[in-house]
Amino acid sequence: MGSERMTPPARTRVRPLSGSSEETRIPALLGAMRVILHVTVAGLLVIGLVRSLIPSVRAGEHDLVWQIVSLAAVFALIYLAGTVVEKRRSDRSPLGDRSDPAGGRAGAQAGGQSALRAEGQIVVRAQLAWLTAVTLTWLGLMAVHVDFAWLAFPLFFLHLHVVGPRSVPMAIALVVLLTVTVILGFWWHEGRLGIGAVVGPVIGAVVAVAMSAAYSLFYAEARTQRRIAAELQATRDHLARSERHAGALRERERWAQDLHDTLAQGLASVVLLSRAAQEQHPAEPLAGQLQQIERSAVDNLAQARALVEQRGPGAGLTAELVAACRTTQDTARSAGSDLAVEFHGPDAGRGGEVGEVGEAGDPPMGAEAATAVLRVTQSALANVLQHARASRCVVTFAVHRDEVTLDVFDDGAGRGDRPEGFGITTMRQRANTAAGTLTVEDAFEPRSGGGATGTVVALSVPRWGGRA
């Protein structure tokens, strides 16, 4: 490799947009409006209780006192139950339509986009049923004492928020009906209608409609802001991924240039020198070893050029595996070993003899799986040749429906208790990169007096790749 030190591609760090990680002012405003609404309901209910219970207790009307307390408790429980249930539901659900419940902080929308929790959306799972129960309980309270009529003001907002998304005219009609009900309640309890009894409810209804419209505008604006922030964040993430990919391509190109200028050129020189030596001394015993050196250099030169051109094994994977097995066996024989290497797999010749390959072609598979199978085979055979002291090695390659498997067996010394070396670590990393698994274990049970245990390297990878 060249003298230039390899540097990994730069990783672009993208900070999340402030709109997607911090609450904006609009959601905070919507949350404040919700809190104010709840406090208003509680305050008006307490005022109504105080103003209705004091005269009733003084007059000794205990039955009326129990009616007021019971109705107020039922009203409070229904209202509180609805808001609590809605709060829990909103904490689990992202912002959807205007009618969808919400009430928490900003969350994540499906598909990776952030979504605003709709602060102040006073709705429940059974919205209309809950609103009907609250309204009927309020009518019972107002029938008992007129001071509970002022609870109509928060009820205006509830009707506009629950019914409004379904039908705005219907929501306004219900607000008008509540206003008329309050005015009639004053007339029924007091026997007359003062200016305040008419003007107060009317002004309250108008203010409620105006505030509801403002709330809807804020809500829509908050959704728009979060949608834009999500789109901007997605664009930035895509840009960062593109920059990282471009950096990886540049680094790969530099590696290819280094391979071409150093390793490939060196192998080409080995080929030329071995051929020249054979031509000068064709009859000497050294000629056979020189031929093996030439074949090994030619094979490695072809692989180096494939790396430079960024080619995988392609449709010739079985032929590549057979060639690797043949090269391993020939190298072992040249070195004086009797190692026999067999290959079993698609299009392999009968009996597993090395060098016989069918003509049907390899079963189709992903380039990542094919590359992992070839590299693991080469590394495992190198270990057998250098360390195993084996007399037999069997390479079995199989293509299944969804996965590709490879087994490399040898009857050599085995690994024993030795730690994994660089070769096994590299094979395991290749398997992980292809979303597969690799195991290395002894082939036989060790004999009582020790002896060879053999080794099996087993690889399994998804046929079409397992990672995006």
DSSP for residue 312: -
What are the start-end ranges of the E strands in 110-223?
114-115
Q: For residue 63, with 0-12 CB atoms within 10 Å meaning exposed, 13-18 middle and 19 or more buried, which class applies? A: exposed
For 79, which DSSP code?
Answer: H
pLDDT score of 285 = 61
Residue 34 tokens, joined: 């919700």
Predicted local confidence at residue 90, as pLDDT: 56
Place of tokens 């009820």: 155
Token digits of residue 247 = 């950096």
Quick check: 409 and 456 in contact, CB under 8 A? Answer: yes
Give the domain ranges of the chain: 18-238, 262-311, 312-468
CA–CA dist 64, 130 (Å, integer):
26
pTM summary value: 0.43
Task: Give the pLDDT of residue 271.
Answer: 64
Identify the residue whose tokens are 């002896």. Answer: 451
**pLDDT value for 12:** 44
Q: Which residues of the chain, if any, have pLDDT below 70?
A: 1-27, 29-30, 86-126, 253-278, 280-290, 292, 296, 300-315, 347-361, 446-452, 466-468
Read off the pLDDT of residues 219-276 as tens digits, 9 standing for 90 and up: 777 778 888 888 888 888 889 888 888 888 777 766 665 555 556 555 655 666 666 6
* Gap between the Cα atoms of 467 and 436, Å rounded: 10
pLDDT at 439: 94
**What pLDDT is recorded for position 263?**
64
The overall average pLDDT reported for the chain is 75
**Eight-class DSSP state of 195:** H
* pLDDT in the model for residue 399: 92
Hey, is 433 helix, strand or coil? helix
| Residues 5 and 254: beta-carbon distance below 8 Å | no
pLDDT of residue 136: 92
CATH code at 312-468: 3.30.565.10
pLDDT in tens, 331-387: 788 777 889 999 998 865 544 555 444 444 578 888 889 888 988 998 899 888 888
